[in-house]
Chains A and B, each alone.
Chain A
Amino acid sequence: MRHEVRRLILLLLPAGIVFAAFFLLPMARLFLIGGSGKMGWAAYTAILTDDLYLSSLVSTFAVAAATTAATLVISGISGVFLQRHKFPGNAALVAMLTFPLAFPGVVIGFMVIMLAGRQGLIGQVTQALTGEKLVFAYTIAGLFMGYVYFSIPRTILTVMAAAEKLDPKLEEAARSLGASPWHVLRDVIIPGLKPAFISAGAICFATAVGAFGTAFTLAAKINVLPMVIYTEFTLSANIAMAAALSFVLGIVTWLVLAVARTAAGSSVAAAG
């Protein structure tokens, strides 16, 4: 028994050291710095009372949540389709879908501008059709578009890998019991892909919360946390506030992901 415990501790040691060195200690330090400014610990309450901070917090997590939802829907559908239907050019298309991963956020922001900016494609088309120029690159909608574009590839790849592992016999069994394609989707395919959706969704969400390059490029009217932190840090030299915001950013992200995971886990158990 003692031996078992010792072995377990030994095995956990490397993970523990890394976790402490790269996660716990920085977070603790960040937390302390956050309380070390002119305002003291009030920096943390300011995040909830100050309009600018609070609204940026809310919009950051709102856009991340929307990005995650949209990405999962789009990638879920296309991932399953691409895995199921092998057509000529399938492999090339999948490879092509992957390349946004290689782009820095700045390039993605630039692409959003080319699409939805003042001289963008959408602007030109809408002007020709309605006489009004539709420009949304510099708003939260533009940011949302950039994030979705960036998140789709890895989500599609995750979904495809998971879709390949779905047991076709399960679908056949459901159909033999009278399940329509919609029932099969709801009761077999989506539950089967759920672990993939959870892990891909978590990565997608966390990336969208922290993405900076895209937000920076589209800067104009956008007020998301990474931008606010950047402003506090470099322009106002308010290091304590930047640290406090960073700490909150980390904690809230962790909370959201933990809650999502627990909820998904318990719904698996309760699905019967």
Chain B
Amino acid sequence: MTDAGTPLAIALTNCAKTFADGTKALEPLDLAIHAGETVVFLGPSGCGKTTTLRIIAGLEEPDAGGKVLFDGVDVTHLPIEQRNVGMVFQSYALFPNMTVAGNIGYGLKIRKVADAQVKARVSEMLAMMQITKLADRRIDQLSGGQRQRVALARAIAVRPRALLLDEPLTALDAKLRDTLRLEIDSLLRSLGITAIYVTHDQAEAMALGDRIVVMEHGRVAQIGKPREIYQRPATRFVAEFIGTMNRLTGAVKNGVFTCKAGSLAWSEAPANTTEILFRPEDIRVAEGHETTGLQGKVAAAFFLGDRTRLFVEVGEAQPLVIESTARRDFSHGDAVGLAIDPRGLLVL
């Protein structure tokens, strides 16, 4: 059996992908994935996440000039069966002609591992995924969550050098998704394996990724830790794709930003700022008789229990979104003063 100890470092250099029908799925792309980290590919549908993952897996070859390196070794032309990477698909892709145990042990059988060892490893995996009772079930007798557990166990059983997961939870309902996401997270951490996780769900990306690669139209828009991506998005696309962004348009003069809703002192404002961006948690409704430079009118208020989500009209194209924890009622048309924490301001 292959060595499970050292996780794999993966590098893509200059990897573009043009499909046979002329579709340009990826622009030339460079990417370095460190040994043992969990990297999440995040982006809207059709941005090339799956294609990149398939190039790493060995299911697609990059266009001429592109290279895939595993621990510095060129594997660009090595087919997937020789790369020893585990794959988990959205559709599970379990073998219908085998039982749960048969599925999990398949990779070991192919490697001609002795029966006793296969059995031992299969029971280990079954116990790890808490599906020991399902060992002899047929695949069509499993629920979606159970299938995904089997798929994970099958991929891990052979001790792959890296684990590649393409939207593994998308087919499951929200509650199960949360549970399994936690399980996958602790699984990846305990294995210490290099993992690449594709999703278009930003909450999933934030929760799982050591780093997130945000993709847009076959390009990498930004790579960074979840916090960096959220707080310091590199482009407007990233800023708007992840989380909610508020926007005010106006101009800066002498350290004061002025817009239709009023003005805001911001000493570090770049000179020719015409638009500022900030997250809902960086703006709040002024309390009592606190005076603020910005005013707006409540367009809609949704009481969510722990907070109220407000949409405040400030004369811009979009109302501002504010998460208010104030213990008061808001109703349509209320005039409110607004305070923004300058540390959360972004210019892109």
A residues near B (Cβ < 8 Å) are 167, 169-170, 172-180, 183, 187-188, 191-192, 194, 268-269, 271-272
Contact = CB atoms under 8 A, between A and B. Distances in A.
B87 A172 contact: yes
A180 B107 CA distance: 11
A188 B57 contact: no
A87 to B, nearest CB: 13
A244 to B, nearest CB: 42
The DSSP consensus for interface residues of chain A is helix
B212 interface: no
B93 A177 contact: no
B187 interface: no
B89 A173 contact: yes
18 contacts: A167-B91, A169-B89, A170-B93, A172-B57, A172-B93, A173-B94, A174-B95, A176-B57, A177-B158, A178-B81, A178-B82, A178-B158, A179-B81, A179-B110, A180-B110, A191-B95, A271-B97, A271-B102
Q: How large is the interface on B (under 10, 10 to 19, 20 to 34, 35 or more residues)?
A: 20 to 34
B13 interface: no
Given A191-B97, A272-B99, A176 B111 contact: no
Contacts of B136: 272
B99 A180 contact: no
B276 interface: no
Interface string B79-106: 1111011110101011111110110001
B95 A176 contact: no
Interface in B52-77: 57, 59
Given A183-B110, A268-B97, A272-B99, A176 B91 contact: no
A180 B81 contact: yes
Interface string B134-178: 001010000000000001001100101000100000000000000
Given A173-B94, A179-B81, 8 more contacts: A175-B59, A176-B81, A176-B155, A176-B160, A177-B107, A183-B110, A191-B95, A271-B102
A188 B98 CA distance: 10
A177 B97 contact: no
Given A187-B95, A188-B95, A176 B102 contact: no
Given A172-B80, A272-B102, A178 B95 contact: no
Contact of B81 (A169, A175, A191, A194): A175
A177 B98 CA distance: 15
B85 A176 contact: yes
For the complex of A and B, the 7 pairs showing the least CB-CB separation, nearest first, are A272-B99, A177-B107, A272-B102, A191-B97, A169-B93, A176-B87, A173-B93
B101 A177 contact: no
Contacts of B164: 176
A126 B320 CA distance: 89
Nearest to A167: B93
A122 B149 CA distance: 59
Contacts of A176: 57, 80-81, 85-87, 155, 160, 164
A170 B95 contact: yes
Contacts of A173: 87, 89, 93-95, 151, 154
B96 to A, nearest CB: 8
